[in-house]
Amino acid sequence: MNRQIRILQRPRPSKAVSREDFQFEKEITDFNIECPICLHVIMDDPLQSLCCGRHFCKACISGVEIDCYTRVRSCPICRGDCSDTFPDKNFERIVYSKAVYCMKKNQTQEAQCDWSGKLRDFRDHLSTTCPYDLVECKYKCSQKDILRVDLTDHLENRCMLRPYSCQHCGAKDAYKAITKSHYRVCKNYPVGCSHCSDENVRRSELNQHVKDECPMQRVECAFSWLGCKEWPLRKDAKEHYSDSHHEALSQAYRKLRDDTDELHLHTNKLRLDTNDLRFDTNELFRDVNQLKFDMNIRKIDISALYDSLNEKIYNLKVENAKLKDEMEERINRRCRDLERDLKVLSKDHDDLLRWYSKLVDDYDSFKLILEISILDIAIQL
Ligand SMILES: [Zn+2]
Ligand SMILES: [Zn+2]
Ligand SMILES: [Zn+2]
Ligand SMILES: [Zn+2]
Ligand SMILES: [Zn+2]
Ligand SMILES: [Zn+2]
Ligand SMILES: [Zn+2]
């Protein structure tokens, strides 16, 4: 039956010590100082098992699980029950006080650590002072084979993740980020001009260099206005100018002289015209002043007219009010008269009515008397 040793937990010692890391001054034969589980030198709490008498690290032997078939902790050496262990003070006393030499070497195996001491101090030496022990980079880069002696150089000059600033623009990042990605976009990074031999043009100024400075760029001849169609290289421009423009320049000079003379004539004519104009202007000023004077007089007339109109309007208003009052008074008076007449008339009317009814009554009584008289007469007859 293939019974596997199952380890529950195997806490690694802070710094494991291998048998190859040191050499005894006098080799020991009484003890097997390597733990059969972790295969490192037992440096903490050596325990001896009862089953076969082997030594183990305390952490390693405590991690051996109970076997599900035999229901015991199976010893990795003798397969017996290794539950019973005890601290071996003898081991500690003898083994840890042995003199040892550090066997750590540099990468090329040319140099060796010169430390010697007791085994109990060896692990401390390894984890703090041994120049040829492996250490971790504090920037967590991927390099895993850094010797303590090389650490400072690694951190300062070699680590791809060390803090770094761009020497062209001062941007800060890890060395790898600056040199791999930042340099590709850094605006101050020196780039070579493809026309001239200048290798130190800032990336952001390359266009301007080509446009305004590059000696290998062609430029329009400064005498193109004289008809020169050539585009000399910027570096040859001076030579080009001194070479080939004498005839054209003297022609241009002659033309310039003629033009200047003509200009003088024009200037004189202009001066005369200016004088004429000045005279006209003065006349115009005089007219304007006269006009201003006339206008002021008109203004005074208009204001007087305005005043008299105002006065007339006021008088008309007063008269109008007076007339209105008078008319009202007259109308009122007439109304009162009419009312009075109406009253008189209505009284006359009543009287007339009374008189009329009396007349009717008289007529009726007279008629009656007449009829009676007629009747009497008739009877008498
Ligand atoms: Zn162990
Ligand atoms: Zn055993
Ligand atoms: Zn050493
Ligand atoms: Zn590093
Ligand atoms: Zn930069
Ligand atoms: Zn250039
Ligand atoms: Zn030219």
The 10s digit of each residue's pLDDT in 280-323 is 999 999 999 999 999 999 999 999 999 999 999 999 999 999 99
Report the separation in Å between the CA atom of 355 and the middle of ligand 2, taken as the mean of its atom positions. 174
Q: Is residue 60 part of a domain?
A: yes
Four-point Cα dihedral 120, 126, 131, 135, nearest 10: -170
Contacts of range 241-245, beta carbons closer than 8 Å, 24 or more positions apart: none
Per-residue tokens: 369: 């008397």
Q: Which ligand is nearest to the CA of 140?
A: 4
Measured in angstroms, how far is the CA atom of residue 173 from the centroid of ligand 5? 10
Residue 156 CA to ligand 5 centre (angstroms):
20
In a domain, 64, yes or no: yes
Q: At residue 326, does pLDDT exceed 60?
A: yes
The domain boundary residue, chosen from 189, 213, 237: 213
The reported pLDDT for the residue numbered 244 is 67
Distance 225 CA to ligand 6 centre (A): 27
* Residue 239 lies inside a defined structural domain of this protein: no
Question: Rounded mean pLDDT of 3-14?
Answer: 41
For residue 143, tell me if it sits in a domain.
Answer: no
Residue 347 has pLDDT above 80, yes or no: yes
Which residues sit with Cβ closer than 5 angstroms to ligand 1, an ion?
35, 37-38, 57, 60
Residues 25 and 68 in one domain: yes
Ligand showing the shortest atom-to-Cα distance for residue 80: 2
- The pLDDT value given to residue 14: 60
Look up tokens 């390099």; give the residue.
143
For helices 119-128 and 89-96, the axis angle rounded to 10 degrees is: 70
**Sorting pLDDT into bands at 50, 70 and 90, what band is 325?**
very high
What integer is the mean pLDDT of 182-201?
Answer: 93
* pLDDT for the residue 69: 83
Q: Reply yes or no on whether the pLDDT at 361 is more than 50.
A: yes
Same domain for 181 and 81, yes or no, is: no
Which of the 8 DSSP states describes residue 135? E
Residue 34 has pLDDT above 50, yes or no: yes
Confidence of residue 339 (pLDDT cuts 50, 70, 90): very high
CA–centroid distance, 212 to ligand 7, in Å, is 18
Note whether residue 126 is domain-resident.
Answer: yes
Number of domains the chain is built from:
2
State which residues form the domain around 72.
19-130
More confident residue, 242 or 2: 242
d(CA 34, ligand 2 centre) in Å: 14
Q: Do 98 and 195 fall within a single domain? A: no
Q: Is the pLDDT of residue 53 over 50?
A: yes
> What's the confidence (pLDDT) of residue 7?
38
Judgement on whether residues 92 and 171 belong to the same structural domain of the protein: no
CATH of the domain at 57: 3.30.40.10
Q: Compute the distance from residue 238 Cα to the ligand 6 centre, in Å.
A: 18
Q: Is residue 7 part of a domain?
A: no
Cα of 326 from ligand 1 centre, angstroms: 142
114 in the same domain as 170: no
Q: Which ligand is nearest to the CA of 230?
A: 7
Does residue 233 carry a pLDDT above 70?
yes
In a domain, 87, yes or no: yes
